[in-house]
Amino acid sequence: MSIIVKDVTKIYGEQKALDNVSFEIHTGEVVGFLGPNGAGKSTMMKIITGFIPPTEGDVKVNGLDILEHSIDVRNSVGYLPENNPLYLDMYVKEYLHFVAGIYKLKNKKTRINEMIDRTGLQIEQKKKIGALSKGYRQRVGLAQALIHDPDVLILDEPTSGLDPNQIVEIRGLIQNLGKEKTVLLSTHIMQEVEAICDKIIVIHRGKIVANDKTSAIKSQLGSNQQVVLVEFNKPTAKTIFEEIEGINLVRDLGENKWQITASNEKDIRQEIFDLAVKNQLSVLSMQQQQKSLEDIFQQLTR
């Protein structure tokens, strides 16, 4: 067992950022940690990495209590924070040499070169960090998180600011790391979660609202609802759908297209067609869709 979180609560003043949170992450799992802004994701990650203590509850990493064995836990964890703090006046290799020194690595030069190759920093390695694009700064952050070969990786928005090609490369890197390490990954990109995460933990207002394998969550929460995509010939108001019972969510996709989520008690397509006739609209297309992870996320955190 890599990470055990039991009954963790964190209070800032009068605000309860985490409310009795519990979950477990096994060795070799890549877990997506999802939630709206302010849900408590970063707070939980900071507690696991030992940056801040919990108000109540216990956290163990590799069997070690984060408070009693703080230094040992930090040595076994690689952490990329959301705001990626870097020394902008240092050169890439100089900074990685500095981080390697903090961890007292014996094979500094070899390990630095490995990290530069693994994170795709070859062409930028002789530049100052302040001269790098945001995407390459993220790569430097990943390199420092990996340099001491940790058993556990905590990544807070690791692909933030990367272009599409870089995102694919970093996703591939995280997938490969997941074969040998435990990875807890915070992101808002649902395609990223589906592509690389074995399991999903969803937190909302400081509480865990879902915790299961990605496929199981999609199956359980996606099977009890239907999603219909309809396109009309001209604009209409969202309020016309209020006449149909059982609709939970209506999303305006633009260009007269609408995505409608409803309960599975009845097929709503005939009612949508009748509604179109009543409002002098022509239905150009209508199809049922499989419920996406993004729809399920909205359902859990609305």
Predicted confidence (pLDDT) at residue 192 exceeds the cutoff of 90: no
How distant, in Å, are the alpha carbons of 149, 199, 248 from that of 129? Answer: 22, 34, 47
Predicted confidence (pLDDT) at residue 189 exceeds the cutoff of 90: no
Same domain, 125 and 192: yes
Same domain, 129 and 209: yes
The residue whose two tokens read 């849900």 is 39
Mean per-residue pLDDT for 8-12?
A: 95
Same domain, 88 and 159: yes
Same domain, 245 and 169: no
Instruction: Look at 114 and 295; give whichever has higher pLDDT.
Output: 114
The residue whose two tokens read 């970093």 is 170
Provide φ and ψ at 3, rounded to 5°. Answer: -130, 125
Calpha distance 243→119 (Å, rounded): 53
The residue whose two tokens read 């067992």 is 1
pLDDT at site 267: 87
The CATH number of whichever domain residue 270 belongs to comes to 3.30.70.1560
Mean pLDDT, the chain, rounded, equals: 89
pLDDT at site 266: 84
Predicted confidence (pLDDT) at residue 257 exceeds the cutoff of 90: yes
Final residue of a structural domain among 214, 237, 268: 214
pLDDT at site 62: 92
The sign of the torsion formed by the CA atoms of 128, 129, 134, 140 equals positive
pLDDT in tens, 38-74: 889 999 999 999 999 999 999 999 999 999 999 999 9
Question: If we measure between CA atoms, which residue out of 189, 125, 200 comes closest to residue 162?
Answer: 189
Its pTM stands at: 0.76
Same domain, 169 and 264: no
pLDDT at site 220: 66
Same domain, 15 and 146: yes
The bridge status of strand 77-80 relative to strand 30-34 is unpaired
pLDDT at site 206: 93
pLDDT in tens, 264-286: 778 889 999 999 999 999 999 99
Same domain, 193 and 290: no
Same domain, 114 and 9: yes
pLDDT at site 99: 96
How distant, in Å, are the alpha carbons of 41, 49, 65, 113, 130 from that of 150? Answer: 21, 12, 17, 17, 26
Band (25; pLDDT cuts 50, 70, 90): very high
Same domain, 289 and 189: no
The CATH number of whichever domain residue 66 belongs to comes to 3.40.50.300
> Which residue pairs from 242-249 have beta carbons closer than 8 angstroms and sit at least 24 positions apart in sequence?
243/275, 244/268, 244/271, 244/272, 244/275, 248/299, 249/295, 249/298, 249/299, 249/302
Final residue of a structural domain among 214, 241, 274: 214
Band (262; pLDDT cuts 50, 70, 90): confident
Domain count, the chain: 2
Domain range for 164: 3-214
Mean per-residue pLDDT for 102-126?
A: 92
First to last CA, the chain: 32
Same domain, 38 and 88: yes
Same domain, 49 and 188: yes
Question: What tokens does 266 get?
Answer: 């009845």
pLDDT at site 291: 67
Predicted confidence (pLDDT) at residue 217 exceeds the cutoff of 80: no
Final residue of a structural domain among 214, 233, 254: 214
Same domain, 105 and 57: yes
